[in-house]
Structure 1
Amino acid sequence: MQRDEAGLARHDLVRAPLPDDVFDRYAGFVVGGSPFNLTDPDAEKSDAQRQVESGLEQIAAQAAASATTALFTCYGIGVVTRMLGGEVSRAFPEDTGPAEIRLTADGTRDALFGGLGSPFTALTAHKEGAAAVPPGAVLLAENDACPVQAYRVGDRLYATQFHPEPTTHAFTERMAIYRNDGYFPAEDFDRLSARVLEASVSEPARLLQRFAAAASSA
């Protein structure tokens, strides 16, 4: 995995399942957001959502077994939490926009999170979360609104509730897509976008760079 755009490949699990040779082809995986919620009733989930969850669980299982390296974000952290026997609920939503994230003591000693400023600002937008990490996970970051902001399983599986992957501009573009999906009042789009564009998200970007370096050297 190279640490620039040339070294990245994108795969949309909504449109196609994981290729059979995906773990041979790629050194690591970054899981972005999703139009779905893990806590949607099973009977209401579409075939596309089931395909997404199945593919993400495959990646998570490989990373938990140290067979690949993966960073799951937002919707992805819910998939990992459920797969490992944890509980995800609608009790811990966060507003769309910048949020303050604090490292735990374990976070300050972690290979990826250690050395990041604490607290730092990251971008959030979600309707569900977890009260505690799943069995076998180490809590790395937290805040008052959502107790589990990041954790690690072993040394090659990471999961964050916040989004480390988008720039502020890219995040506002995503907000426009989800403007009418209940994450925020549609009439507040301009105000919330301005808050996002004013935010400094340098520490999440550093985290992502460290992850790419770790995946490249694994």
Structure 2
Amino acid sequence: MSSVLYVCARPERSAADAEHRSFRRDLGLATLDRVDLLHASLETVEWQRYDGFVVGGSPFNVTDVVKSEAQLAVEHDLERIAALAMAGGATALFTCYGIGVVTRMLGGEVTMAHPERVQAARLRVTAEGARDPLFGPSGPSLSVFTAHKEAAAETPPGAVLLATNDACPVQAYRVGEHLYATQFHPEASPQDFADRMAVYRASGYFDPEQYVATESMVLAASVQGADLLGRFPALLTR
């Protein structure tokens, strides 16, 4: 059976635990191994034996001017996973913060010009996305949860744009056949995202004075990220 590793970059334990559960559920896996990069490096697990990686979000930003040693170590390990996937040694899906790490690694620009507050965003699947095995079955558009402060300025060198919208032009891309990166959070159900709001209430992803209204909007949303994640295990390389 294919093996998948959930890679966590969240300092907040409750949010990390919930994200792990969400990925396991939507991937359709009975178990999902885990490494928390803020507490252990990749070297603490046999990371190269995995044929799949799913990388969760983080309150870190690639554009942070001052970075802790812990954040620098996280970004280094994420780049190692991306390099493995680009070489065809595994299939990886980077989400939110992770797309910034991959964009910079490819020589692209990460900017604060395309933020999105907590919302269910409607994305357009590109012509390349329609032919992609992960995005194609979603149809011409899909609704997903977004909440981020930075984004890729444009599709980075070597990447193929898979999904876009007006607010944030680079919502998802693929590099080669085995590396995917999304600005959005495919793993979050409405309840998952509402629970995450409580953890990051003061982190600038939404107006805390509009907490109740924003939570109501999230809980009423219909999103298709789970369908996309359900197709990921079929893409694994080994």
Is TM (by shorter chain) over 0.5?
A: yes
8 Å contact from structure 2 (residues 118, 206) kept in 1: yes
Q: How many residues align?
A: 213
The alpha carbon displacement at 1:131 in A equals 2.4
Show the counterpart of 1:204.
Answer: 225
The alpha carbon displacement at 1:35 in A equals 1.9
Q: Are residues 1:118 and 2:140 paired? A: yes
The runs of at least 4 consecutive aligned structure 1 residues that moved more than 6 Å come to none
Show the counterpart of 2:116.
Answer: 94
Show the counterpart of 1:51.
Answer: 73
Show the counterpart of 1:21.
Answer: 46
CA distance in 2, matches of 1:144, 1:4: 32
The alpha carbon displacement at 1:16 in A equals 1.2
The alpha carbon displacement at 1:5 in A equals 4.2
Which residue identity lines up with residue 138 of structure 2 in the other structure? L
Show the counterpart of 1:107.
Answer: 129
SS at match of 2:162: strand
Could you report, residue by residue, the CA deviation over 1:156-199 in whole angstroms, capped at 9, with x for unpaired residues? Answer: 00001111012211111111111101111112121111111111
Q: Are residues 1:39 and 2:63 paired? A: yes
SS at match of 1:183: coil
SS at match of 1:125: strand
SS at match of 1:48: helix
Could you report, residue by residue, the CA deviation over 1:134-160 in whole angstroms, capped at 9, with x for unpaired residues? Answer: 111000000000000000011100001
Which residue identity lines up with residue 23 of structure 1 in the other structure? Q
* Unaligned segments of structure 1, at least 5 residues: none
CA distance in 2, matches of 1:191, 1:11: 35
CA distance in 2, matches of 1:164, 1:145: 18
More strand by share: 2
Could you report, residue by residue, the CA deviation over 1:86-139 in whole angstroms, capped at 9, with x for unpaired residues? Answer: 110101101112001100111111111112132211000000011211111000
CA distance in 2, matches of 1:113, 1:4: 17
Show the counterpart of 1:170.
Answer: 192
CA distance in 1, matches of 2:114, 2:63: 12
Residue identity over aligned pairs, in percent, reads: 58
When normalised by structure 1's length, the TM-score is: 0.93
CA distance in 1, matches of 2:92, 2:141: 24
Show the counterpart of 2:174.
Answer: 152
CA distance in 1, matches of 2:178, 2:141: 24
Select 1:8's aligned residue among 19, 32, 44.
32
Show the counterpart of 1:66.
Answer: 88
8 Å contact from structure 2 (residues 188, 225) kept in 1: no
Superposition CA RMSD, Å = 1.4
When normalised by structure 2's length, the TM-score is: 0.86
The alpha carbon displacement at 1:4 in A equals 3.1
* Unaligned segments of structure 2, at least 5 residues: 4-26
